[in-house]
Amino acid sequence: MTTALITGANKGIGFETARQLAARGITVLLGARDKDLGQAAADALKAEGAQAHFVQLDVTDEDSIARAAEWIDSEFGSLDILINNAGITGGMDRDGKPSSTSLANLRRVYDTNVFGVVAVINALLPLLRRAEAARIVNVSSEVGSLDMMLNPEGPMWQMASIPYPSSKTALNMVTAMYAKELWETPIKVNAANPGYCATDLNHNTGFRSAAQGAEPSVYLATLPPDGPSGQLWGFLWGSDVEYGRLPW
């Protein structure tokens, strides 16, 4: 049995990621803060024939993370795939400019997008080490790429905001550091770029579907033994090819 935990899996890209992994015969554990929404999402996948289970998980609550890790340990004994999908934008401080950024909003975004990821990985790493060749995928974004954000000719140039973009830049470094720590192990750690997808995160303004956004995470979660580690990989905006490695 191959097991995968996806955080923030009750809707959007997280739910579609769980659905696509389940279609490959993987048992999916849908992490979500809200019990009713999480259970409904798991039931929806079960109705499609998936092996799906709801796991109550708030990535900003260390006790919640510990309980989830204990439950996975007792039920499965190990974990093959961890996809850190949960994330927030934090909304906009006044005009959204860097000079208008409130520290309260910045802390709130980092609590979920960065600190929560570290907390979840650290709690579940013992279970991931027990798997034959585990995969860790951190769902990042092209807006976290310094190269893309500083390209005056690129699509990211018009964005100048601190909380969400900088949290994804930090997440990219978190990814790189775990990849280095685990370099000599079978565990691979990568960051996924879904692209600009229509989800609640952006009020459904994206031009890609949630299902399309899930594809990079699924690809990285099922890498073969000779696959890469320590990369930002996914949708390539304005490229002749749909997917590939993005610059940090």
> What contacts 95, CB < 8 A, 6 or more positions away?
none
CA distance 169 to 171: 5
Instruction: List the catalytic residue out of 11, 168, 178, 196.
Output: 168
Q: Is 35 a catalytic residue?
A: no
User: Are 99 and 75 in contact, with CB atoms under 8 Å apart?
Assistant: no
Q: Is 164 a catalytic residue?
A: yes
Instruction: List the catalytic residue out of 11, 164, 188, 196.
Output: 164
Question: Angle CA(189)–CA(110)–CA(59) in degrees, nearest 5?
Answer: 65
3-class DSSP state for residue 95?
coil
Task: Tell me phi and psi for residue 11, to 5 degrees.
Answer: -160, 175
Q: Which two tokens stand for residue 153?
A: 């000719």
Residues known to be catalytic:
164, 168
